[in-house]
Amino acid sequence: MRAFIKQHRFMFLCLGILWIKTFIVSMVTFELAVNQALEAFIFIVNPLAFLLIVFSLGLLMKPSWQRPYYVILTIALSALLYANAVYYREFSDIITLPMLVMSGNMGDLSTSIFELIRLYDIIFFIDCFILLYLMVKRPKQLTVERAPLKRSKAKYGIIVSIVAVILVAGQTYSPEQPVHSFDRDYLIRSLGIYNFYFYDAYLQLATNSQTAFAERDDLTAIKEHLERFQVEPNQDLTGVAEGKNIVYISLESVEEFVIDKEINGQEVTPFLNELKRSSFYFSNIYDQAGQGKTSDTEFMMANSLYPLGRGAVFHTNAATNQLMPFQSELQELGYFTTSFHANTDTFYNRNEVYPNLGYDSWHDTESFTISDENSVGWGMKDIPFFEQSMDYIKELPQPFYASFLTLTNHFPYELDPEDYFMDPPETDSDIVNRYFPAVRYTDEAVKVLFDEMKEAGLYEDTVFVLYGDHYGIAASHYDQLEQVLGYEIDDYEALKLDTVPLFIHIPGMEEEAEISDTVGGLVDVMPTMLNLLGMSRDEHVMFGHDLLAEERDDFVVLRNGNIVTNELVYTREFCYRDSDKQELPLDRCFDIAERGTAELNYSDEIIYGDLLRFFRGDEG
């Protein structure tokens, strides 16, 4: 072994540096929790198996090619590590292969990406510069030597043996908690970040072929599962909103903790606080979006199906699958359906998805007068967005369904000085400091929309659904967020914090309206609205349930597999009793974990297999 290393010092130098860097980045940047000795060993050595294989390929090359090969390989894998580290800072997730399809959105994402880059990131590539220098200088001590397969069987035997031991060790480890393909934290710990992409490629191939092999019988187990947990909607509220116009407002990145929050005596959401008292308001609605963020929420709201665990369903299946969306059902009842979003309609493939969701029309940047004065951050400010949208709303045939996607409160939460309606908090995080004034601006914009609806004579005959589309403050800023919220954000509180506000405002029903703490998600909005509009749920396959049902089963599963009920909280690593935050043995949460896994897997099967084409007897 010593002779082997002596003959190939440059290869082992590059490999060793990259192995150490991979371990440090995985531990520090990805904040992975490694709880057992064997798990720790597997986590440390798993990257080595991949690195040994790809670096050993260089041994077959001429010595003059080996140095460039090792350096290029080091730079490429360092870039992969860095891309994931930057992405993880805001999204607490790993880049998956389906996300490469979303690369067309990079221009729109540039503001967010530049905000995430740090000056100290140069550290990620210092070793690459050193290795480039050594590649050019070629010091004699850093030997390279060709190792033909026939004359170097012992060397390759050593490599194969080490890789085999690592792989066997990985297979012998069995975690205590249930393991799922959508639990990427576990996959990174058990496979290593490089091997993860081989697994992700396997998933990509498997899911891409699922439609071709899907059969009608695949729906049977799904229907049985849904019937098992079916809940009767609230009969007292059936049809109370029948025939009314419908307005959906997506509150970009607005989390539930901002509602009724005051900072230095100033309300963050004064209008929404007032609206809450006259609406059906739900305070325990969890963020179920996946990597598609806002588009995932749109998909959930339209279909009562979960988004995919990898990539954005708007980019993969939503444009081509046969669906049973809420908007199409409204069209059959004579509704005109439209959407407003001051971004390009190609962003997240909306120009192809919206017709399949049942939109008669949609309004993107082409429909608005956008200038530097009325834009900030991601695009058009919310107040002029609503004001200009009203010109179209007033001309719509009634009844209509209109959805609005706001933009101003999008990471990195930039505002012009004249748009501050409150003073920011003072923490060590610019993101946290900017977030609350940006939410306050969106709150003011919603007030403008309501005022304009009243002035146009449309308010009284319209149902308003307002919802936070996904989280706003990433876990990387929780230390600073604690200063604003006034309490420590541990694992339990982090999950409980992952909630978004949901308002259903029906003018004329202020007396009947109530504040509810039922546990649910945005997947529950469609069945809730179907009941309020007096529409049947029989023609739909939905994983959600009426949020206002009297016998509702409080249960929500997040896209990463975390689960909350009215009794238990399951975070993949821990099981808690919700009433007192008492940590319980993991097996106490296994029943809800199995139900959550089934829900996500069944929904994925429907999407990947395009199973809804079989629901009404249409096999085409």
Q: What is the tens place of the pLDDT at every residue in 468-507?
A: 999 999 988 999 999 999 999 998 999 999 999 999 999 9
Residue type, 468: G
Nearest to 609 by CA among 24, 285, 210, 254: 210
107 band by pLDDT with thresholds 50, 70 and 90 = very low
Residue 294 is among the residues annotated as catalytic for this protein? yes
What pLDDT shows up at residue 111? 55
What pLDDT shows up at residue 280? 98
For 176, the token pair is: 């205590």
66 band by pLDDT with thresholds 50, 70 and 90 = very high
What pLDDT shows up at residue 620? 40
Q: What is the tens place of the pLDDT at every residue in 256-268?
A: 999 999 999 999 9
What pLDDT shows up at residue 171? 65
What pLDDT shows up at residue 31? 61
Q: Of 572 and 323, which is predicted with more confidence?
A: 323
- Please tell me whether 469 is known to bind a ligand: yes
β-pairing, 563-565 with 568-570? Answer: antiparallel
| C-alpha dihedral (100, 105, 109, 110), degrees to nearest 10 | 90
Q: What is the tens place of the pLDDT at every residue in 10-41?
A: 999 999 999 999 988 888 776 655 556 666 77
Residue type, 102: M
Task: Evaluate whether 85 touches 25 at the Cβ level (below 8 Å).
Answer: yes
What pLDDT shows up at residue 619? 42
Residue type, 445: A
Q: Cβ neighbours of residue 387 under 8 Å, at least 6 residues apart?
A: 448, 452
302 band by pLDDT with thresholds 50, 70 and 90 = very high
Domains and CATH numbers, the chain: 1-210 (no CATH), 217-614 (3.40.720.10)
End-to-end CA separation in angstroms for the chain: 62
Identify the H or E element spanning 89.
Answer: helix 63-91
The Cα 455–Cα 449 span in angstroms is 10
222 band by pLDDT with thresholds 50, 70 and 90 = very high
What pLDDT shows up at residue 618? 46
Distances (CA, A) of 574 to 190, 336, 594: 18, 47, 15
Whether 92 shows a pLDDT value over 80: the answer reads no
Identify the H or E element spanning 331.
Answer: helix 326-332
What pLDDT shows up at residue 405? 97
Whether 150 shows a pLDDT value over 90: the answer reads no
Average pLDDT, the chain: 90
What pLDDT shows up at residue 108? 46
**Other Cβ atoms within 10 Å of 65 Cβ, number:** 13
Whether 72 shows a pLDDT value over 80: the answer reads yes
Segment 309-316 shows an average pLDDT of 91
Whether 250 shows a pLDDT value over 90: the answer reads yes
Segment 147-167 shows an average pLDDT of 87
Q: Of 360 and 98, which is predicted with more confidence?
A: 360
Cis peptide before 355 (omega within 30 of 0): no
- Please tell me whether 410 is known to bind a ligand: yes
Nearest to 238 by CA among 542, 516, 530, 537: 530
Q: What is the tens place of the pLDDT at every residue in 574-607?
A: 899 999 999 999 999 999 999 999 999 999 999 9
Instruction: Give the total residue count for the chain.
Output: 620
Whether 181 shows a pLDDT value over 60: the answer reads no
What pLDDT shows up at residue 5? 85
Q: What is the tens place of the pLDDT at every residue in 445-476?
A: 999 999 999 999 999 999 999 999 999 999 88
What pLDDT shows up at residue 183? 67
- Please tell me whether 341 is known to bind a ligand: no
Q: What is the tens place of the pLDDT at every residue in 507-527?
A: 999 999 999 999 999 999 999
Q: Which position among 74, 269, 294, 565 bears the catalytic label? A: 294
Whether 173 shows a pLDDT value over 80: the answer reads no
Identify the H or E element spanning 576.
Answer: strand 575-577
Q: What is the tens place of the pLDDT at every residue in 200-213?
A: 888 888 888 888 88
* 3-state secondary structure (DSSP) of residue 216: coil
103 band by pLDDT with thresholds 50, 70 and 90 = low
